[in-house]
Amino acid sequence: MNEKELLEGYDDGEYRRPSVTADILVFSMSSDFKLQLLLVKRKNHPYMGKWAIPGGFVDYDESLEEAALRELREETHVEDVYLEQLYTFGKPGRDPRTRVISVAYVALVPKERLHIQAGDDAAEAALFDIENIDWGIRFYSPEMREALSEEELAFDHAEIIRTALKRLAGKLDYTDIAFQMLEDKRCFTAYEFEKIYEAISGRKVEKSNFRRDFIGRYIKTGVIEELDVKSSRYSIKPATCYCYKRQSHRG
Amino acid sequence: MNEKELLEGYDDGEYRRPSVTADILVFSMSSDFKLQLLLVKRKNHPYMGKWAIPGGFVDYDESLEEAALRELREETHVEDVYLEQLYTFGKPGRDPRTRVISVAYVALVPKERLHIQAGDDAAEAALFDIENIDWGIRFYSPEMREALSEEELAFDHAEIIRTALKRLAGKLDYTDIAFQMLEDKRCFTAYEFEKIYEAISGRKVEKSNFRRDFIGRYIKTGVIEELDVKSSRYSIKPATCYCYKRQSHRG
DNA sequence: CGAATAGTGTCTCTCAGACATTATATG
DNA sequence: CATATAATGTCTGAGAGACACTATTCG
């Protein structure tokens, strides 16, 4: 291919280094408690018009996490969120232009905090509902209910998303990640928390058991506290509110 | 520092890329069932004379995993082992020479398969017993029983080792990693497996409970099978041997 | 009243941890 | 005999999962 020859012509005989990018998977939760992922539509080749995970090159003086946060800021204008390194993807050929090693990060952001805006490399940016969690992965766009198939994703991004979904589901039971999706960590109901848990794990839970465990584990360990406030946001009968007692981000 | 100025002088105005290395943490098990880690003594600056995790630059056409396997082959002459990506360390300044992003891999290698040899960048290579698993990390060299403190480790390698130990202990219960340390996966006793489990988890287990669970879970799921063979290698009374039925590596 | 969620109680089964006991081989 | 590991058994309490039931508020 002449495109490849062109790129190899850039090489000047010195040691040829791979490029490093930080990619960021921004997960959020729709108002009807469906797990959502931020994708951007590529406006350049390769994969022009396909949907991709936002990301960009890591600057020489910037840490990987800083690079991920910078991308996050550019796309969503949020700063202070839960962020976790996912995995590093580096197979030669995953980007047809040149050798790219991508360090993928996962961010969990409550939806009201998101102010989505397409970055320089993207035509548009949108949140996609993640409907079925059988790792075959199928997305449905929020407004139009249009299926987004794996073929419409750029690069190896379907694999990256699968990895992220597995990681999130796996960490649900022994970490606090579900709390990171709450609209207001300082005042939320058991119902909200349960719905978030269901969305991330991909399966229904028994309401009564979940409440027992939820109360039992987190109240006893002081992670949450019962408040005097009641909320009728999601129900007719006012529900007890709880307060998450740890720092709002970091994990 | 004039060393830094020298390095920055190398920059020729083009986009300055970080270097990428693949580092490999080779864990093994001593004959008395202590968890061991392969370290190499640096023969060049920086950190000359300090102990380090072996690693090297990722070639332009080589996958991250291939790079890790190449390093592994150079240091230990083993090929076909359990290998897993650990984490990517990329803070600016972690290598005083230039910006280095290290993708760390963990390999689990039964000791008899190791044929340790120092690579080009190392004066010597040795296995160190990991004695206490309180994440303060202290090593004792195998022969001399000399303490190796965190200060004697190069770069941010103490942090990398801590990360690896946590990961291994965490995956012990829901993966097959303990089997990867067995001298002979096709014929081993419950005693051997128990000792490996203890070494990786860093705590004693109740023998009878462990056997019940060990038999219960793995026999029922077909992961292991009971053999007719008996072994007196670790006991006076001959013990039942078991056979691990899955592929010898990969995880 | 029905609808929808809030919230409580109960039963079973599995599993982890603690501990006791017997068996088998060697010196 | 003592010793060291092999191998089996028993008890308890915690937790997961299934399910039944009552309470509260609105329209």
Query: Can you list the domains of chain A with their CATH numbers?
Result: 19-171 (3.90.79.10), 178-244 (1.10.10.10)
Higher-pLDDT residue of A1, A159: A159
Rounded Cα–Cα distance for residues B25 and B108 (Å): 8
CA–CA distance from A51 to each of A30, A71, A129, A141, B102 (Å)?
A: 19, 16, 14, 11, 29
B68-105 pLDDT per residue, tens: 999 999 999 999 999 999 999 999 999 999 999 999 99
Tell me the count of A-B CB pairs closer than 8 A.
Answer: 64
pLDDT tens profile A101-147 = 999 999 999 998 999 887 777 778 988 888 643 344 444 434 434 44
B113: DSSP letter: G
The answer to whether residue A14 scores a pLDDT higher than 50 is: yes
Using alpha carbons only, what angle is made at residue A224 by residues A221 and A227, rounded to the nearest 5 degrees?
135
Residues 82-101 of A with CB under 8 A from B: 85, 87-88, 90-92, 99, 101
Q: In chain B, what is the straight-line distance between the N-terminal and C-terminal CA atoms, in Å? A: 45
Predicted local confidence at residue A118, as pLDDT: 78
Selected catalytic residue, list A124, A146, A206, A225:
A124
Q: Which member of A19, A64, A87 has the closest CB to residue B17?
A: A19
Name the nt closest to A213 by C-alpha to C1'. Answer: D15
Rounded to whole angstroms, the distance from the CA of residue B216 to the C1' of nucleotide C23 is 21
Q: Give me chain B's average pLDDT, please.
A: 85
pLDDT recorded at residue A131: 67
Q: What is the pTM of this model?
A: 0.89
Residue B215 CA and nucleotide C20 C1' are separated, in Å, by: 20
Q: Which nucleotide is nearest to A211 (CA to C1')?
A: C7
A124 is catalytic: yes
- Asked if A60 and B20 come within 8 Å (Cβ–Cβ), the reply is no
Range A56-82 average pLDDT:
95
Sign, CA dihedral A164-A169-A174-A179, equals positive
Residues A10-24 have a mean pLDDT of 75
Residue of B18, B61, B87 with shortest CB distance to A92: B61
On chain D, which bases lie within 7 A of the protein's CB atoms? 3-10, 15-20, 23-26
The beta-carbon neighbor of B92 closest among A62, A88, A90 is A62
B204 touches strand D (CB under 7 A): no
Q: State pLDDT tens for residues B176-229.
A: 999 999 999 999 999 999 999 999 998 889 999 999 988 888 998 899 999 999
Is residue A224's pLDDT more than 80?
Answer: yes
Chain B partners of A159 at a C-beta cutoff of 8 Å? Answer: none
Any idea which residues of B carry the catalytic annotation? Answer: 124
How many Å apart are CA A32 and CA B208, to the nearest integer?
A: 49
- Contact (CB<8Å) B18/A58: yes
**Can you list the alpha helix ranges (DSSP code H) found in chain A?**
2-9, 64-76, 157-171, 190-201, 207-213, 220
